[in-house]
Structure 1
Amino acid sequence: MDGKLAVIGLGSIGSMALWQVSHMTDSVIGFEAQSPAHGRSAVGGDTRLFRMIYLGNPDLYPILERSRDLWAELEAETGQDIFTRCGGLSIGTADGLYIRSLLETTRTNGAAHEILSHEEMAERYPQHNLRPDDCAIYDPNAGVLRTDRAVTAAIAAAQANGATVHTNTPIDSITETDDGVVITSGDTSWTFENVIVSSGGWSRRLMPDYLKAATQTKRVFLTWFVAHDAAQFTPEKFPTFNRMYEDRSMYGAPAVDGVTVKATLDGRGTVTPDPDGFPRELSTAEIAETIETVSEFIPGLIPTIVRSDAFPDLYTRDRSPLLGWFSESSRIYCATGFSGGGFKNATGYGHIAAHEALGKQTLEGLEFVRPERFKTGTSTPL
């Protein structure tokens, strides 16, 4: 054996899994096809939103709680400033499905929140151009995560704990044998007791057919703007936001660099067959819709995109992650398919993957993330 465990892909989740594993054993090797936090990975774009208020399965909430605690642990262990807590807003029509659904999930899981009326929103956060029937839900625990800093810090911490890292080492194949799991890169091979696959948009080629059929790699783009008055868009004055209104949707973050405000259309991922060969530039239609939406929602931003980029991520059919073994008898653990929303929970997902891959107990209530749901046909289609 070359090690107890291999982690293939050291991006959002793989870096955190490696860090967590390194607390339990130094017999772990991480493999990254390029370099940590490279510009073509789903880590790209500087920041991601963290929030405790969300749409969907209440079973996600314990993972969010674990993730929040682990972000603080990563900062304490590495001395890096990774999470800026600035609060977060979910904005929509007061009696619309978006706000009603958010409140239903929030009241079920007990997340701290504050409902802001149209008048309260207008007074506290005048940066947002509200419709007459808009309101918001304020999340005091929300904020901004520094993606590049988080990934590089986690990998450095893992190495300090005894983990080995191979960069610029793409894995060509994974083969299970009676003795363990053999992985190859070019003419070199290694054998491990178990393997975690956490390669994001590049994971499909290493997955069994039933998971290939249930996943797609999609291109997701991000956009940034400059404000007329930068002082109004600092983390102290401008919380993260998610806003939905009929066919318009946008999310964003304050100017953590003091200059550029992230404001990006939500839910615009497009299928790309090749995670290495999709357009990084925005189309004319994407630019037009982005500028039209930001002009309506946040008139304090100059309606010119000053920066944009696009990244690949792996989406599942039901948009819930893949966390678990390829099969009951497999030694290959899947930690991918986070469908454009995984980074806020990267520490929590990494914790689950690390512990389960080493045969240790972790959180309960994880049936909704298990890969075998796609074997049985019980998953909910998009």
Structure 2
Amino acid sequence: MTRYAVVGLGVLGGATLLALARAGVECIGFDAGRVGHPHGASGGGETRIFRTAVADAPAYRLLLDRSRECWTDLDGSHATPARPVFRPCGALTVGPPGDPRVRAVAGSGRSAVLGPEAAGERWPAHRVAPDEVAVLDPGGGLLHAASATRALVAEARRLGAQVRERSPVLEVVRTGGRVIVRSGDGDDVLDGIVVATGHYRFPPGAGPGPDGVVNRRVVLTWFPVRDPDRFSSAAFPPGVRLGGSAFTFFPAVDGRAIKINVQVSQPRTAGPDDHHPPVRPDYPASWPEQPAARIDGLGACPVRQETYVEGYTPGGRGIVDLVGSAPPVVTLGGFSGQGFKYAPAVGELAADLLRTGVPASTAFAGVAATAG
């Protein structure tokens, strides 16, 4: 029987393992830690924005639609009240209507544009200036990162996939059209592998990893809120403020503080093991504008700061690459902060490439090399 492996069970590796299990093939997933551990993107800041109103080509919108379907299904079968996967609360873009990014979302055909007065009534925490608009993506929502990753792997396991946590891959050997994966659990002889180790080093023998990916530190800051009801996901959906100092914002999932990610240049990490570099306490003081100037009800001083590492490509697109055919080896990486949105559909794409060398769905044909 054909056997495949997925090395790295973050959100993209977990999605690929699930796609292989759904295809009915024998598959094994390896991770050096526990699934959903805090040292990768799955542990970075708890939540992610999900969007459907984007200016990308139709193929990318199909990826988003498929991913939303998968996230919704997983939320129905694997979420708990304490650990939801996906909250379909919409996503916002707030800023000047002339900003190219605002225009792109407003012109996507998947959004509704509200003027400042209507926006202020619907989302009272936002200070929407007279020369700004709020664009609602009703198909958007909030992903809970670690829960989403765990749900993907749990469903793969339910369908028959083997899952080996705390089992780092020590070496990959290609020989005789097969691939040997050597881990702490011994040797497994397989017919192909997907390598999705994120910012971690690729296992020796697996190849150099996707070209052009730079690992950068993402710094997140939480500010306390005075009225938690104004900052629930229903009253304060995740989104981005544009014009002036741009930043993304997230609802108070703990009822106490909202997460802010100011869009400033992020430094490269010192190396693959540099998971959580320290953050200077005065980091927010360097921002051109404080979020409280545009969001009503925030405390002045941060209550929490956290970092995680993301892989970025120059064009901001992730890489899905078939780098070998005998045996097949597929590499994933560099999704530039966009991986969670597309993960379930990209996992299906990677599984198709591994098994057949081509994406099975024509919707994926145009994005086989650069899915982001």
Task: Tell me which residue corresponds to 1:379.
Answer: none
Contact 1:291 1:304 in 2 (8 A): no
Distance 1:57 1:327, change over 3 A: farther
**More displaced, 163-172 or 76-85?**
76-85
Question: CA–CA distance in 2 between the matches of 1:219 and 1:195?
Answer: 28
Task: Tell me which residue corresponds to 1:82.
Answer: 85
Task: Tell me which residue corresponds to 2:316.
Answer: 319
Task: Tell me which residue corresponds to 1:217.
Answer: 215
1:342-361 equivalences under 5 Å are 342-359=339-356, 361=360
Contact 1:9 1:197 in 2 (8 A): yes
Contact 2:119 2:133 in 1 (8 A): yes
Task: Tell me which residue corresponds to 1:183.
Answer: 181
Letter of the structure 1 residue corresponding to residue 5 of structure 2? A
Question: CA–CA distance in 1 between the matches of 2:57 and 2:257?
Answer: 33
Letter of the structure 1 residue corresponding to residue 36 of structure 2? A
Task: Tell me which residue corresponds to 2:166.
Answer: 168
Question: CA–CA distance in 2 between the matches of 1:57 and 1:271?
Answer: 30
Residue by residue over 1:38-94, the C-alpha shift from the partner in whole angstroms, topping out at 9 and shown as x without a partner, is 111111122111111235444310000000111122223435431111111101112
Contact 2:35 2:150 in 1 (8 A): yes
Question: CA–CA distance in 1 between the matches of 2:29 and 2:264?
Answer: 31
Question: CA–CA distance in 1 between the matches of 2:28 and 2:161?
Answer: 6
The CA deviation at 1:368 is 4.2
The CA deviation at 1:175 is 3.1
Task: Tell me which residue corresponds to 1:154.
Answer: 152
Superposition CA RMSD, Å: 2.5
Distance 1:288 1:39, change over 3 A: same
Residue by residue over 1:210-230, the C-alpha shift from the partner in whole angstroms, topping out at 9 and shown as x without a partner, is x55411111112222221111
- Structure 1 unmatched runs, 5+: 374-382
The CA deviation at 1:366 is 4.1
Equivalenced residues, count:
364
Distance 1:329 1:259, change over 3 A: same
Contact 2:127 2:294 in 1 (8 A): yes
Letter of the structure 2 residue corresponding to residue 242 of structure 1? V
- Structure 2 unmatched runs, 5+: none
The CA deviation at 1:292 is 4.2
SS of the residue corresponding to residue 242 of structure 2 reads strand
| 1:265 and 2:262 are equivalent in the alignment | yes
Letter of the structure 2 residue corresponding to residue 76 of structure 1? G
Contact 1:71 1:347 in 2 (8 A): yes
Distance 1:305 1:205, change over 3 A: farther
Letter of the structure 1 residue corresponding to residue 199 of structure 2? G
Question: How many percent identity over aligned positions?
Answer: 28
Task: Tell me which residue corresponds to 1:93.
Answer: 96
The CA deviation at 1:190 is 2.2
